[in-house]
Chain A
Amino acid sequence: MDALKHHVYGFVFFFCVFYINSMNSNFPEEVRQKRFPRSSQSLNDIFLFLADCLSNQMVSSDASYKILFAVEEIFTNIVKYNATGTTEILLKFSTNGREACIQLIDEDSPYFNPTSRPEPDLTKPIEQKKPGGLGIYLVKELLDGFEYQHDQRTSTTTLRQQLRS
């Protein structure tokens, strides 16, 4: 009888572990990707791609805005600072239903780490301020995650954002 109890308890234990694990991953990972020409004229197509990726998700308008803002900023930086790169820019979107992870991958890029750029001095009076330099700072402030990796000639910028922030 004790042996039977052990089996039943064991079964219940493993069932609970399985159930809890399945609850934690109840959103299957969704991954989509597309390549875009290295031009600011690609922005409209990028917005359409992202809007399509986000359309299946429960995403707040605030989170959606942050994602579009950050992707545009990183993409236009790649276009501006690596205009002579020969490849199209690969945009990868993945989500588990709670968080979006967007990667911008430039496969013909020198090392250029946007996350290490110095922060602008926002306290200066308007006469001393110059236009520009705000974009990367805002990406850092707005998003939940912002990372950069460079390997061989491939740079990967990764952005993370909770979908219901």
Chain B
Amino acid sequence: MFKITINDQGVVELEGRLDASQTDEATMVLDKITTSVTVDFKRLEYIASAGLGVLFAAQKRLKGTGQGLRLVNLNASIRDIFRYARFDMVFQIE
């Protein structure tokens, strides 16, 4: 199961498992974002390379207008995946 929501503070919250069968739902929400936002991974257990692609596409589009995604609360395994993919150079990760 995967959920993506934008809370009252404008933070994008990810929950569950972002695998290849869930990327449409993530894309639908991320495509609406036009300014810099925080993406909270606190309740995200798992992300596949398809999920990395969705986040990357959003980041690339936003960087084109001087905006960007700030990623917070990544678990250790997801943080490792981002590091191997060198996505720590692409995103602001805290």
Residues of A within 8 A of B (CB): 40-41, 43-44, 47, 61-62, 65-66, 68-69, 72-73, 76, 122-123, 126-127, 129, 131-132, 134-135, 137-138, 141-142
B3-11, B35-43, B75-83 - interface stretch: B75-83
| In the assembled complex, B49 has its CB within 8 A of some CB on chain A | yes
B46, A131: Cβ atoms under 8 Å?
no
- Answer whether A62 and B77 are a contact pair too, CB < 8 Å, given A73-B49, A129-B60: yes
Report the number of A-B residue pairs with Cβ-Cβ less than 8 Å: 66
B77, A134: Cβ atoms under 8 Å?
no
B86, A123: Cβ atoms under 8 Å?
yes
A41 to B48, CA, bound (A): 14
CB closest chain-B residue, reference A41? B21
| In the assembled complex, B29 has its CB within 8 A of some CB on chain A | no
Which applies to chain B's interface (DSSP): helix, strand, loop or mixed? helix
- For the complex, count residues of B whose C-beta is within 8 A of A: 25
**Among candidates A69, A126, A141, residue contacting B90 with C-beta atoms closer than 8 Å:** A126
- Tell me which residues across on chain B come within 8 A of A123, comparing CB atoms: 86
CB closest chain-B residue, reference A75? B20
Would you give the shortest CB distance from B67 to chain A, in whole angstroms?
Answer: 13
A134, B21: Cβ atoms under 8 Å?
no
- Tell me which residues across on chain A come within 8 A of B90, comparing CB atoms: 126, 129
B81, A138: Cβ atoms under 8 Å?
yes
| In the assembled complex, B50 has its CB within 8 A of some CB on chain A | yes
- Tell me which residues across on chain B come within 8 A of A40, comparing CB atoms: 20-21
- Answer whether A122 and B77 are a contact pair too, CB < 8 Å, given A41-B21, A47-B17, A73-B48: no
